[in-house]
């Protein structure tokens, strides 16, 4: 119990929360663009898991940055199936999304099984070192909690700023919002609805793949089947919690990561508490926030509905 009163406990929890939130930040921001454009992209879990495996197989013989990029491209490749089936051929978005998740999980499990010898050396990469910000990292408590993380985390935080600007201050961001709210009106104004939805879905696939790669290369270091453990679906929850806001999605990702880290650290402080109960903490908090935020959350009006051009 005394550990809860120590600053180091909360410093470690905050730092762990940022680290655990990093993959969710990538995935949730990408999915935010897709859903704001009206594409209910439930294949996010598939993008993350295929991005994780691809990043490992490229980073192992080359370098972590190349593996990271490969993870994003792998997620984008899987997202192209969403584009083909749902955006271009008008198949049901929910069915296709779940199908891509199953495809991603099954394909990565099969590839990993076929390329890894039983009892042999498991493929793994070294985890990155922390990048401390001079002076700021020396601040008591705050320095250890906030200003000492890997480049995967720093890049994700930079992405929040860039994505927030793109979503609200650029023509592309405004077109994304327009085709998600009223695709017919957007088309009447000369916006190519299918093109914008295609681009937003590619962004979702790329950033979802980067989220899986960040989990693989930045936090775990070795692949196991079903490594992502439903983080893609957690990112979907985060987006609803954030009411489809880029900044809110990043904050929601941190909230979830913080309480997940809190559960881990509480397990060390209270050894008699069942680990299953502590692991449920972030999901319980997410449920409470979803229940409260549902009063004012408003999803894009065109979300999940295919757009069929009249011409």
pLDDT at residue 60, rounded to an integer: 83
Burial label for 205, CB within 10 Å (0-12, 13-18, 19+), is buried
Give the tokens for residue 60. Answer: 């192992």
Give the tokens for residue 74. Answer: 């792998």
Distance, CA of 150 to chain centre: 17
Residue with tokens 């509905």: 305
Mean pLDDT by 10 residues, the chain (311 residues): 66 88 96 96 95 93 93 97 96 96 94 74 78 72 76 94 95 96 94 96 97 94 88 90 90 90 76 72 81 78 90 64
pLDDT at residue 235, rounded to an integer: 92
pLDDT at residue 23, rounded to an integer: 95
* Fold assignment, 2-115+143-293: ABC transporter involved in vitamin B12 uptake, BtuC (1.10.3470)
Q: CA-CA distance, 59 to 62, in Å (whole number)?
A: 5
pLDDT at residue 288, rounded to an integer: 83
Query: How crowded is residue 184: how many other Cβ atoms within 10 Å of its Cβ?
Result: 12
Beta strands at 148-149 and 131-132: parallel, antiparallel or unpaired: antiparallel
What are the boundaries of each domain within the chain?
2-115+143-293
Nearest CA to 160 out of 32, 34, 8 is that of: 32
pLDDT at residue 26, rounded to an integer: 97
């Amino acid at each position: 119990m005394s550990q809860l009163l120590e600053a180091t406990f909360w410093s470690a929890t905050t730092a762990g929360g940022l680290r655990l939130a990093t993959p969710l930040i990538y995935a949730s921001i990408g999915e935010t663009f897709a859903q704001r454009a009206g594409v209910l992209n439930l294949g996010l879990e598939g993008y993350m898991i295929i991005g994780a495996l691809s990043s490992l197989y490229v980073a192992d013989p080359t370098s972590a940055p190349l593996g990271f990029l490969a993870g994003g491209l792998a997620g984008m490749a899987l997202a192209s199936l969403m584009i083909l089936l749902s955006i271009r051929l008008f198949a049901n978005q929910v069915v296709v999304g779940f199908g891509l998740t199953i495809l991603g999980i099954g394909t990565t499990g099969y590839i990993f099984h076929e390329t890894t010898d039983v009892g042999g050396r498991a493929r793994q990469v070294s985890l990155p070192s922390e990048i401390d910000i001079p002076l700021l990292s020396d601040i008591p408590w705050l320095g250890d909690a906030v200003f000492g993380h890997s480049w995967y985390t720093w890049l994700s935080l930079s992405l929040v700023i860039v994505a927030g600007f793109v979503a609200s201050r650029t023509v592309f961001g405004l077109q994304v919002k327009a085709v998600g709210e009223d695709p017919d009106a957007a088309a009447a104004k000369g916006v190519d609805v299918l093109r914008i939805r295609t681009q937003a879905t590619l962004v979702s696939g790329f950033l979802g793949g980067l989220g899986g790669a960040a989990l693989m290369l930045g936090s775990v270091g070795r692949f196991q089947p079903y490594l992502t453990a439903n983080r893609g679906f957690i990112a979907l929850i985060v987006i609803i919690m954030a009411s489809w806001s880029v900044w809110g999605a990043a904050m929601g990702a941190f909230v979830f990561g913080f309480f997940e880290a809190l559960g881990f650290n509480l397990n060390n402080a209270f050894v008699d508490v069942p680990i299953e109960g502590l692991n449920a903490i972030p999901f319980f908090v997410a449920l409470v926030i979803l229940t409260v935020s549902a009063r004012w959350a408003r999803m894009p009006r065109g979300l999940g509905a295919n757009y069929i051009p009249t011409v």
